[in-house]
Chains A and B, each alone.
Chain A
């Protein structure tokens, strides 16, 4: 799996690279518009993360360029602007997703995974981790092949954990994943606890191992050895 990060801020580029590298992706990066164009001319990528505001150019033009060349790469826009106009424009141009800065790396990771899953039509549509099977198209979960009836939030929580398995995910990134912009308006940490407790109970009922470790106060780790 090959990913290109087009981002001019070196610290952000570096940390994105570091986080995603652990997922086993091959990561390349470009710091400006012309370097990005050079890379996409030469190599094929599965996923391209593109910042809209770049030195010497606009990320949207890179998307145009990719689409003109019939690139099959999935595109995620990363923008500091979070303007709905940019978002609509980018998605119209053929981008697959839009992530506003500042974002959590766990969120970025789960977006990339979702994108790859959606694009990977011919591949396996199921996510299988030990006794857990997830069918994303149906938003369904099975444990030991027995369906588990999860609420929407519980399902999202599980998928987020699995996308970021063996990582510490902070409560804040879970909150932002589950409630988006509203997460800062609510006492989200209590709600995460409630949803997680229910999820754990439902999974345990079907004989699933409790993979979720609490990491002090800061978050959780869905620890699994495949």
Chain B
């Protein structure tokens, strides 16, 4: 629920009972005032009746109104005080009972006492209630409209910095932290919010940078010890006294060291990609890059008797760093060769905005979602580091391109959208 709607609900929840109470009060106040008003005019008419009585010579009944409800009747009793009363009288023309305010007064003139009865129709209770309800309804509608208007204006003016901050926060990406700053505004609360956000993103960024730096440094620091191991292995295998058994151990150590070195190299590459250290970009023809990579791996392709077909409908060029483009293409092609079967095929299609590389191969044993996750690999690929596709994804992420995988007609298809 929007803040503005929420405020409105609360506002109504509070104002409705208040208005109700105010309505009840108003009802009684207005009723009182009306009665006082009626009584006053009754008094006036009474005075008028007394004037009429003074003009008559013989005592007789005087009709003061056409409906014969107001009368002055000569009576014999002595003088009493004025009495007000409310009665209901059936009205033939209106065909309903009407409320009447009746004043009974006694007036004595020249030893003759008259009973003056003055009757006046008064406002019906339901009419009053009805009137009040419509009045209050109108008030509420005006309040709501006014409130919405005010809120709309407030959100346009007062909440503007908040929405700006929200927008910036949504667009926040840690890689372009330097360009992001929640600026100072003249509303205290929003300023505090922005300051807090600045502080928080600063902290996140510095933690992130430190983490990144650590990964990079750790990987670099590992290169020299690896070089030491390799160098000593190179010296050790020169020994003329080694037996086959020892050589087997040495080879195992050598292979593992090599794997470790490759892994380390891949991690360094990943951190370099993530750190955007490949800045320069060129316009690169994918077709050329693919042809070059195919030539590079022709040994491999031939030895596995893989048939390879390139369909280029479009001379697609992309703006990328040349090193990264080569890594991208060769990772995908290596992947298509490595996970292929003897005598299998590779199909490469270049369209206007996409590149797809498909290869035959056994169905995946892992969840396709995990394909691009670091160190997740298919059970059958023991020698694989499980990092190639995650490098591919990192490269594409840098440029905002996307890659997807699907299995179609017994082909593993990787499709990149540029």
Contact = CB atoms under 8 A, between A and B. Distances in A.
Q: Which of A9, A85, A106, A170 has the most CB of B within 10 A?
A: A170
A181 interface: yes
A111 to B, nearest CB: 14
A200 B233 CA distance: 27
B300 A186 contact: yes
A182 B224 contact: no
Nearest to B246: A216
Nearest to A109: B234
A33 to B, nearest CB: 16
B363 to A, nearest CB: 22
A94 interface: no
A133 interface: no
Nearest to B220: A80
Interface stretch (A13-21, A66-74, A138-146): A13-21
Nearest to A168: B237
Interface in A132-168: 153, 167-168
Interface residues of B, number: 45
A42 interface: no
B261 interface: yes
B127 interface: no
Contacts of A103: 227, 230
A83 B272 contact: yes
Interface string B81-99: 0000000000000000000
B232 interface: yes
B330 A218 contact: no
A106 B338 contact: no
Nearest to B233: A170
Interface string B219-241: 01101101111111111011000
B234 A184 contact: no
A169 B381 CA distance: 27
B166 to A, nearest CB: 39
Given A84-B323, A167-B238, A217-B251, A102 B229 contact: yes
Contacts of B233: 170
Contacts of A80: 220-221, 223-224, 227
Given A16-B231, A105-B235, A173-B234, A215 B247 contact: yes
B248 interface: yes
Given A81-B220, A184-B258, A191-B303, A101 B232 contact: no
A192 to B, nearest CB: 11
A216 B220 contact: no
Interface string B298-321: 011001000000000000000000
A83 B251 CA distance: 29
A12 interface: yes
A101 B224 CA distance: 6
Contacts of B248: 216-217
Nearest to B231: A15
A186 B323 CA distance: 20
B111 to A, nearest CB: 131
B392 to A, nearest CB: 13
B303 A185 contact: no
Interface in A163-195: 167-168, 170, 172-173, 176, 181-182, 184-187, 190-191, 194
Contact of A82 (B268, B303, B388): B268
A85 B265 CA distance: 16
A48 to B, nearest CB: 18
Contact of A11 (B228, B262, B334, B385): B228
A81 B235 CA distance: 24
Across the A-B interface, the 9 shortest Cβ-Cβ residue pairs? A80-B223, A102-B227, A102-B226, A15-B231, A216-B247, A105-B234, A184-B262, A101-B223, A101-B227
Interface of B: 220-221, 223-224, 226-235, 237-238, 242, 244, 247-248, 250-251, 254-255, 257-259, 261-262, 265, 268, 272, 277, 296-297, 299-300, 303, 323, 330, 334, 338, 383, 385, 388
Given A11-B231, A12-B228, A184-B259, 18 more contacts: A9-B228, A80-B220, A83-B277, A101-B223, A102-B224, A102-B229, A102-B230, A104-B230, A104-B231, A170-B233, A172-B255, A184-B258, A185-B334, A186-B297, A215-B247, A216-B242, A216-B248, A216-B251
19 contacts: A11-B232, A12-B228, A19-B234, A80-B223, A81-B220, A82-B268, A83-B277, A102-B223, A102-B257, A104-B234, A105-B234, A106-B234, A185-B338, A185-B388, A186-B297, A194-B303, A215-B237, A216-B242, A217-B244
Interface of A: 9, 11-12, 15-16, 18-19, 80-85, 100-106, 153, 167-168, 170, 172-173, 176, 181-182, 184-187, 190-191, 194, 215-219
